[in-house]
């Protein structure tokens, strides 16, 4: 008969029935529920069998016990919260107190081995059970939930209306470098309607802004196809996006800064944020100081390529203006930004404007910014484009390079009828939480990372 560790019980308890076995672990309580830890993994939640008085059990003490079959296997199912199934635990016997030596013989963590930070995250009373890979994952998921809750509370307290945008849309976006997932709806007549998953909820939310709603936000999933799988990218992730009528780019920058600081204050991580206000660097300023390139004189793509090729060996004659800009930015500017704890990069060239409005004072510049924490881009904010004719020109330029762009006639009708002057920001919330916590990658905090849905090593990472 196979002998399962407590960690294996924890991982398997929702997928298969397990035979009763004897275990040894440190007793703890978390979120009002009992659990045990044997040093290789936590098993939680458990239900103590009749006759086991939880009032006499002491947190931190080591007990031997029997893990029965999953509750509900031979008895009525006992459920907890979202259909979580308890394991039955009985025949408890004290093996060692908090200061005993049982953990030394059986690999159970000693109280002195527990970092104070870990204890504070999991249980303010200072118990010492969350040191396993399994329990660390639970802690990460709880922290992710906390980050989502703090973001929601921030906007609700600021008078924003939360909306739930649709996930099946006519156009997933018209960005030059973002690719969509495509599908079809088949009606009762058998007619097919082409649909996409949104790369962002931008079009849906702007339709509501066009109706005159002053402040809106959404916490929703966004989807990006074709290679969006790397350390800081996943094809499906949590997007926090918000819009408000009125306001300036500077107002949006300071609101974003306050939001990030508020989320960070509730998470225990390793990222260090500077005192506010964070520095704001213009794109032209960065290219001048780092590359000695005056972007104002680089509107012609050939001149830009020639100037860049002397500094960047990856630039080739077939590169577009956007390609040259992105290569220079990634190879030379981002390493400098990585030396900053946190900052903003603002006022991008019009060629990189997407749907940002033109700056009214600087020629060839749009009102767009990105926030960087430790060199990682976190969000993309605009003073939004409301000029319908300008919008059509920009989409037409994208369509020249790509033949797979889908249009949303209802959004374009809203633009044509008149979108209110507004500002908006799209923030990758999963990425932000991962960076603030100092996690190795975005996938570390996702309950179901994209690559985990496939057999090991079958999905190519960037």
Q: Which of 72, 95, 74 is nearest to 83 (CA)?
A: 72
Beta bridge partners of 25: 63
Confidence of residue 127 (pLDDT cuts 50, 70, 90): very low
Looking at residue 64, what DSSP letter applies?
E
Region 292-307: mean pLDDT is 94
Query: What is the predicted pLDDT for the residue at 65?
Result: 84
Q: Three-state DSSP class for 427?
A: strand
User: Over 80: is that where the pLDDT of 20 sits?
Assistant: no
Strands 42-48 and 87-96: parallel
Looking at residue 5, what DSSP letter applies?
P
Strands 21-30 and 79-80: unpaired
Looking at residue 276, what DSSP letter applies?
S
Task: Provide the CB-side half-sphere exposure for 345 (13 A, CA).
Answer: 25
Confidence of residue 30 (pLDDT cuts 50, 70, 90): low
Q: What is the mean pLDDT of the chain?
A: 83
Q: Three-state DSSP class for 200?
A: coil
Least confident of 28-32, 361-365, 371-375, 394-398: 28-32
**Structure tokens that stand for 235 in this block:** 């094809």
What is the C-alpha separation between 260 and 272, in angstroms, rounded?
12
Region 300-320: mean pLDDT is 92
DSSP assignment string, 86-133? PEEEEEEEEEE-TTSSHHHHHTPPPGGGS-HHHHHHH-TT------SH
Give Dmax over CA atoms of the chain in angstroms.
83
User: Over 80: is that where the pLDDT of 301 sits?
Assistant: yes
Q: Which of 66, 59, 60 is nearest to 23 (CA)?
A: 66
Name the strand (E) or helix (H) holding 303: helix 301-309
For the segment 332-352, what is each residue's pLDDT rounded down to a tens digit?
A: 999 999 999 999 999 999 999
User: Over 80: is that where the pLDDT of 3 sits?
Assistant: no
Q: What is the pTM of this model?
A: 0.76
Task: Give helix then strand counts, H and E, for the chain.
Answer: 13, 17
**Structure tokens that stand for 207 in this block:** 């339709």
């Amino acid at each position: 008969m196979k002998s399962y560790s407590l960690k294996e019980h924890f991982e398997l308890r929702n997928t298969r029935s397990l035979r009763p076995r004897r275990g040894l672990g440190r007793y703890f309580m978390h979120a009002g529920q009992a659990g045990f830890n044997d040093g290789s993994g936590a098993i939680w939640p458990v239900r103590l069998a009749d006759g086991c008085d939880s009032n006499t059990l002491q947190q931190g003490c080591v007990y031997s016990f029997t893990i029965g079959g999953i509750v509900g296997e031979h008895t009525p199912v006992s459920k907890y919260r979202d259909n979580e199934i308890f394991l039955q635990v009985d025949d408890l016997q004290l093996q060692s107190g908090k200061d005993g030596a049982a953990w030394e013989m059986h690999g159970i963590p000693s109280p002195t081995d527990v970092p104070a930070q870990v204890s504070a995250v999991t249980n303010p009373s200072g118990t010492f059970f969350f040191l396993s890979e399994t329990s660390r994952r639970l802690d990460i998921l709880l922290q992710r939930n906390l980050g989502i809750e703090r973001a929601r509370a921030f906007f609700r307290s600021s008078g924003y209306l939360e909306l739930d945008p649709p996930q099946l849309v006519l156009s997933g976006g018209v960005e030059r470098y973002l690719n969509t997932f495509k599908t079809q709806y088949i009606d009762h007549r058998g007619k097919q309607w082409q649909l996409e998953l949104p790369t962002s909820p931008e079009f849906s939310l702007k339709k509501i802004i066009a109706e005159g709603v002053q402040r809106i936000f959404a916490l929703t999933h966004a989807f990006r196809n074709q290679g969006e799988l790397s350390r800081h990218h996943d094809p499906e992730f949590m997007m926090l996006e918000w819009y408000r009528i009125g306001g300036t780019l500077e107002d949006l920058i300071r609101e974003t800064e306050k939001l990030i600081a508020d989320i960070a204050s509730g998470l225990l991580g390793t990222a260090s944020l500077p005192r506010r206000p964070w520095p704001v660097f213009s794109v032209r300023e960065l290219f001048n100081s780092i590359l000695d390139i005056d972007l104002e004189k680089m509107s012609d793509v050939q001149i830009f390529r020639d100037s860049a090729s002397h500094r960047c060996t990856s630039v080739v004659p077939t590169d577009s203006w956007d390609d040259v800009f992105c290569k220079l930015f990634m190879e030379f500017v981002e390493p400098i930004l990585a030396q900053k704890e946190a900052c903003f990069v603002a006022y991008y060239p019009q060629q990189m404007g997407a749907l940002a409005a033109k700056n009214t004072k600087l020629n060839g510049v749009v009102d767009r910014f990105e926030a960087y924490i430790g060199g990682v881009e976190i969000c993309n904010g605009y003073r939004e484009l409301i000029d319908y004719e300008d919008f059509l020109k920009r989409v037409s330029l994208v369509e020249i390079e790509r033949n797979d762009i889908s249009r949303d006639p209802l959004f374009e009708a809203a633009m044509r009828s008149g979108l209110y002057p507004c500002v908006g920001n799209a923030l990758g919330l999963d990425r932000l939480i991962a960076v603030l916590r100092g996690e190795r990658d975005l996938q570390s905090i996702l309950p179901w990372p994209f690559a985990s849905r496939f057999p090991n090593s079958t999905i190519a990472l960037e």
